[in-house]
Structure 1
Amino acid sequence: MIFKQALRRELSLTTGGVFLVLVTIMITTLVIRILGFAANGAINPEDVLVLISLATLGYLAVLLTVSLFVATLIVLVRWYKDSEMIVWFASGLSISNLIRPILQFATPLIIIIALLALFVWPWANRESTLISQRFQQRDDVSMVSSGQFRESARAERVFFIEELDVDKNEVKNIFVADSKNGRVSVAVASAGYIQNSEDGEKSVVLHNGRRYEGQPTQPDFRILEFTDYTTKIRSKEALAPPPRDREKTISELLNETEPTTINPNRAELLWRIGLPLMALGLVLIAIPLAYVNPRLGNYTAMFYAILIYLIYSNLLNLTQNFVSQGKFGFFVGIWPIHLLALVIATILIRNRINPSVKWWRRQLPAAFAKK
């Protein structure tokens, strides 16, 4: 009982520590990537924190899976190295007796991983897409900020406004350059305002300014003075784009009837279901994999753990691609990888129960192994 309590306590602390480290690395990577997008004008700088938070929420299931696997391995490796497992074995317990307390600790986390993969992952992806699309579909007025040159979404108009009063829709010292059909038009004015029509169309009205049309070296170049000059702004409705596979809810994945999206939807569902199953398989594999000779005290198990995780996750992604391409059926692709992990975990655990017996005899039932 004391050992089980100590095991749960160490697993909790180690899992939390590993998870915090992985989250920190993830956030650092996301900050660099999303700030790059903001610098290139792909996203709104004001949405950076929201997008980082949504991306972190989306990957929590993967981070928890890795944290649970690594924490189980670290705790058991330390127990072997500090000879605490010798006390465990001397008490008449075997390595198989570790399975129940470890699974009791891991089961709530596996349930959380399943909920995150099934519900939080598509929601976070969908919200990130909507925020990015809303910025891409912005109208020209929403891009204007005082003291900065701003290009329209279609790169056909450049604005510069020295002062902007959003509450009164008033602007001062305006520069507007239009490029249409290879002809450049530049309008400058000392004052103006933003006009909203009943049909939703937006315009900028300039007062007391000049307009320059054409190339200065060409005969059709004109300079016009105006009292009022109106330039229309194309208002775009922020239409929600059709959801991608990773953005669809479970009901949308199951109820899709379009032939071209059935296989990708099933592949996405396979990945979401496979993530908690992978977490279970990795925990079971970590129990025998953590064996370390106390006299040597090496950490070669960590190398094998990284290799096993990479192989497992890549096989899951590969199966997802095969299902998406129609090479495998959903029910054919869902079980082989996880069954293989369970078989490997069973073989490794049986090998560690009685290492003095030849490896092939350990796999036989006790009645046959004695013969």
Structure 2
Amino acid sequence: MLFDSSVRRELWRSFMATLVVLLTVVLTMVLIRILGQATRGAFAPADVSLIMSYTVVTQLPVLLALALFVSVVTVLSRMWRDSEMVVWQASGARQFSFLRPLLRMAWPIVALVAASTLVARPWAYDQTEVLKHRFEKRSDMARVTPGQFQPSADGKRVFFIDSHSDGQTTGRNVFMVLTDKGMESVVTAREGQIITDKGMRYLMLHQGERIQTRLDTGEVTTAQFEQARVLVGEAPDAGLADPELRAMATPTLIAERSRDARGELVWRLGLVWAAFNMVLAGLALAAGNSRRNSSWNLVYALLLFVVYFNLLTLTQSWVVQGRMKWAPALLGVHGGLTLALLGLIAWRDGVFRSLGQRASEARP
């Protein structure tokens, strides 16, 4: 009982500390990337916090699996380094004896990985696509934040309206720069309004001036107008585009028969299986010799994690390309690694050696 509780207590402490560090690093990287996308007009600046939350949810399964793997490797490596493992082995504990406390500690994490991979991750991708689609389908005038310069969706126009505008369909004191076919036009108007005519969107300007410059010759033309209409694009569709595979719910994905859907399903189920394999890998690779202060086991563990998760993505591409079926991809890669790790643990416990000795003693 003491053995089981002490191992699980230290594993939980190491796991929580590792997860906090990983979340801090990921949050920093995600925030920098999302702020860059918001400045380029990928989504509304007001949705930055929501987009960041959804992005963290999509990264959560890998972070949980990595934190679990690191905690198992670091705790068991410390026990070998401080000769604590020798004491447990002298008390009758073998390598397979650690499977019980490891799995009792790891099963809630593996269940959380499964829930976040199969349920939360697709939902987060779907919500992100909804926010981006909603922003992309807004009119160019609606994209503009009053008091700030904002490029249009195609990058050919830059808009500015003063801070007293409603920022939806009508803008006051409009400033606009248009660049197209070697011509640059600077348009100012007292008021602008978005209208729709025959499936096209137009910006109706009132009481303004237009300065047009030919970029090749520098010729400048000036004109004043009471009303002018500028084409800004097609009318937005009311419906959403077809959802990405990453945003599809898992039951819907299972019902799909396409290669792409099977590849995404292999990735999701494989990630859950990979979280379980990380526990076995940590137990198998953390073994060492207390008389030698070597960190090669940690290097091997890191290499295994990198290669394994790259192989997870590679099997997805194989299924999409039709080189493998989804069931052999799961069983061959993840099931094969499970058997190999169990065999390595048994070899470190001397199971194969004792079986060989029994077989030799049984011979006449």
The TM-score normalised by the length of structure 2 is 0.86
Q: How does 1:224-235 map to 2 (within 5 A)?
A: 224-226=224-226, 228-229=227-228, 231=230, 234=233, 235=235
What residue is the counterpart of 2:245 in the other structure? 245
Counterpart check, 1:280 vs 2:263 = no
CA distance in 2, matches of 1:219, 1:306: 64
Counterpart check, 1:40 vs 2:40 = yes
What residue is the counterpart of 2:23 in the other structure? 23
CA distance in 2, matches of 1:202, 1:267: 40
Q: Is the 8 A contact 2:141 2:194 kept in 1?
A: no
Q: 1:175 to 1:311 in 2, by over 3 A?
A: closer
Deviations 1:52-81 (A, max 9, x none): 211111111111111111111111111122
What residue is the counterpart of 1:54 in the other structure? 54
What residue is the counterpart of 2:223 in the other structure? 223
What residue is the counterpart of 2:90 in the other structure? 90
- Give the drift of 1:243: 1.8
Of the candidates 318, 321, 324, which is equivalent to residue 322 of structure 1? 318
What residue is the counterpart of 1:71 in the other structure? 71
Number of residue pairs matched by the alignment: 360
- Give the drift of 1:131: 2.1
Q: Secondary structure at the match of 1:334?
A: helix
Deviations 1:122-146 (A, max 9, x none): 1122222222233333211112233
- Give the drift of 1:177: 4.5
Q: Kindly provide the amino acid, as one letter, of the partner of residue 191 in structure 2.
A: G
CA distance in 2, matches of 1:253, 1:115: 15
Q: 1:301 to 1:201 in 2, by over 3 A?
A: same
What residue is the counterpart of 1:361 in the other structure? 353
Q: Kindly provide the amino acid, as one letter, of the partner of residue 264 in structure 1.
A: D
- Give the drift of 1:229: 4.4
Q: 1:366 to 1:317 in 2, by over 3 A?
A: farther
- Give the drift of 1:192: 2.5
Counterpart check, 1:299 vs 2:295 = yes
Q: Kindly provide the amino acid, as one letter, of the partner of residue 109 in structure 2.
A: L
Q: 1:366 to 1:49 in 2, by over 3 A?
A: farther
Q: Kindly provide the amino acid, as one letter, of the partner of residue 153 in structure 1.
A: A
Q: Kindly provide the amino acid, as one letter, of the partner of residue 329 in structure 1.
A: K
Q: Is the 8 A contact 1:30 1:52 kept in 2?
A: yes
Q: How does 1:122-133 map to 2 (within 5 A)?
A: 122-133=122-133
Q: 1:149 to 1:199 in 2, by over 3 A?
A: same
CA distance in 2, matches of 1:96, 1:219: 84
Counterpart check, 1:270 vs 2:250 = no
Q: Secondary structure at the match of 2:191?
A: strand
Higher mean alpha-carbon deviation, 54-63 vs 293-302, is at 293-302
Higher mean alpha-carbon deviation, 141-150 vs 210-219, is at 210-219
- Give the drift of 1:45: 2.8
CA RMSD of the aligned region, Å?
A: 3.1
CA distance in 2, matches of 1:168, 1:113: 41
- Give the drift of 1:162: 3.1
Q: How does 1:111-126 map to 2 (within 5 A)?
A: 111-126=111-126
CA distance in 2, matches of 1:103, 1:294: 25
Q: 1:369 to 1:194 in 2, by over 3 A?
A: farther
CA distance in 2, matches of 1:307, 1:368: 36
What residue is the counterpart of 1:101 in the other structure? 101
Deviations 1:222-255 (A, max 9, x none): 63442x4455655423642212222211122122
Q: Kindly provide the amino acid, as one letter, of the partner of residue 20 in structure 1.
A: V
Q: Is the 8 A contact 1:270 1:334 kept in 2?
A: yes
Counterpart check, 1:81 vs 2:74 = no
CA distance in 2, matches of 1:39, 1:220: 32
Q: How does 1:164-175 map to 2 (within 5 A)?
A: 164-166=164-166, 171-175=171-175
Q: How does 1:128-277 map to 2 (within 5 A)?
A: 128-166=128-166, 171-178=171-178, 186-189=186-189, 191-192=190-191, 194=193, 205-211=204-210, 223-226=223-226, 228-229=227-228, 231=230, 234=233, 235-237=235-237, 239-257=239-257, 262-277=258-273
- Give the drift of 1:178: 4.8
CA distance in 2, matches of 1:77, 1:181: 66
Higher mean alpha-carbon deviation, 172-181 vs 119-128, is at 172-181
- Give the drift of 1:168: 10
What residue is the counterpart of 1:13 in the other structure? 13
Deviations 1:204-235 (A, max 9, x none): 55444344568698999563442x44556554
Q: Secondary structure at the match of 2:346?
A: helix
Q: Is the 8 A contact 2:117 2:268 kept in 1?
A: yes
CA distance in 2, matches of 1:141, 1:35: 22
- Give the drift of 1:343: 2.3
Q: Secondary structure at the match of 1:159?
A: strand
CA distance in 1, matches of 2:308, 2:319: 17
Q: 1:326 to 1:91 in 2, by over 3 A?
A: same
CA distance in 2, matches of 1:32, 1:177: 29
CA distance in 2, matches of 1:59, 1:369: 52
Q: Is the 8 A contact 1:145 1:164 kept in 2?
A: no
- Give the drift of 1:287: 1.4
CA distance in 2, matches of 1:195, 1:299: 66
Q: 1:169 to 1:98 in 2, by over 3 A?
A: closer
Q: Is the 8 A contact 1:42 1:132 kept in 2?
A: yes
Q: Is the 8 A contact 1:192 1:204 kept in 2?
A: no
Q: Secondary structure at the match of 2:161?
A: strand
Q: Is the 8 A contact 2:182 2:214 kept in 1?
A: no
